[in-house]
């Protein structure tokens, strides 16, 4: 459960019964699911894409811009090559040299621009391991190919991203949201969500003449960053809190 104060947001929300739908599971970058209970049918569901995110949003019918969304910040997930390497291992006997080289290329990690020094160091090792796998494949030594792919998976599993070293890249700020001239943003608050460290940013703004509260929650699980957001009047904040409490992270095929 996320226990965070909503500082500087005016009057306290009025409590009212909250009804959520049964939990659903969503997966966006391919291998780390997130599960949560969506809001009821008055909140219209649609795809959510905004500035490096992929997820799902729920907009309240007639709510003048009230929204809840759950999304993945894929700048971390896109760096991982675990699934590509696993697919190589599972289909090793189905490739020829050309198709193996093409598939192996997908197992290489991006070099440069890593969010941590640890990532930079391990990425170089993974890519060297992948290169050796290609050499062994050309030599026809499938046993050593398997050894190198196993090693690449093991190396990939050593990378651990933390919220402290990555969240500043995507944190909600007034500077990045000039569409609301009177936007007031509170300092980030540390907390916890679904058993993981979390950072929350609260803000207030005027939406079509109605004072709105806003909240963004950032959390990392299994090297995947998720952003959960709310914008609306105080009376709908309890619904958002219930959604946060319902969040879990089912196991994915690649664990870090």
- Phi/psi region, residue 218 (left: phi>0; alpha: psi -120 to 50; beta: rest), is beta
pLDDT of residue 59: 97
pLDDT of residue 6: 39
Confidence of residue 241 (pLDDT cuts 50, 70, 90): very high
The chain-wide mean pLDDT, for the chain, equals 89
Question: CB pairs under 8 A, 24+ apart, for 135-141?
Answer: 137/97, 137/100, 137/101, 137/104, 138/97
Domains and CATH numbers, the chain: 24-76+162-246 (3.40.1000.10), 81-114+116-157 (no CATH)
For residue 2, CA distances in Å to 22, 84, 196 come to 20, 34, 10
pLDDT of residue 5: 39
Q: Is the pLDDT of residue 109 over 80?
A: yes
pLDDT of residue 37: 98
Higher pLDDT, 16 or 125: 125
pLDDT of residue 10: 47
**What does the alpha-carbon distance between residue 18 and residue 243 come to, in Å, rounded to a whole number?**
10
Q: Region 49-70: what's the mean pLDDT?
A: 94
Contact (Cβ atoms closer than 8 angstroms) between residue 56 and residue 26: yes
Higher pLDDT, 231 or 174: 231
For residue 171, CA distances in Å to 154, 188, 210 come to 31, 9, 25
- The string of pLDDT tens digits covering residues 63-97 is 888 999 999 998 888 888 888 898 889 888 899 99
Kindly state the percentage of the chain with pLDDT values over 90: 64
């Amino acid at each position: 459960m996320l226990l965070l104060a909503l500082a500087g947001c005016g009057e306290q929300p009025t409590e009212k019964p909250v009804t959520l739908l049964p939990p659903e599971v969503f997966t966006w970058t391919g291998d780390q699911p997130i599960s949560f209970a969506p809001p009821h049918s008055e909140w219209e569901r649609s795809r959510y894409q905004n500035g490096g995110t992929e997820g799902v949003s729920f907009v309240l019918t007639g709510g003048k811009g009230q929204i809840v969304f759950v999304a993945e910040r894929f700048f971390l997930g896109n760096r991982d090559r675990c699934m590509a390497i696993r697919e190589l291992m599972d289909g090793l006997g189905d490739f020829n040299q050309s198709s193996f080289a093409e598939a192996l290329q997908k197992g290489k990690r991006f070099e440069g621009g890593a969010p941590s020094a640890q990532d930079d160091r391990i990425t170089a090792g993974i890519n060297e391991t992948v290169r050796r796998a290609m050499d062994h494949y050309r030599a026809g030594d499938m046993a050593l190919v398997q050894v190198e792919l196993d090693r690449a998976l093991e190396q990939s599993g050593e990378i651990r991203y933390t919220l402290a070293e990555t969240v500043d890249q995507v944190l909600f700020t007034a500077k990045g949201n000039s569409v609301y001239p009177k936007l007031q943003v509170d300092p980030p608050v540390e907390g916890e969500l679904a058993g993981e460290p979390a950072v929350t940013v609260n803000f207030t703004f005027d939406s079509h003449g109605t004072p709105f509260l806003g909240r963004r929650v950032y959390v990392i699980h299994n090297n995947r960053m998720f952003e959960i957001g709310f914008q609306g009047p105080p009376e709908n904040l309890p619904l958002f809190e219930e959604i946060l409490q319902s969040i879990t992270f089912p196991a994915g095929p690649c664990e870090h």
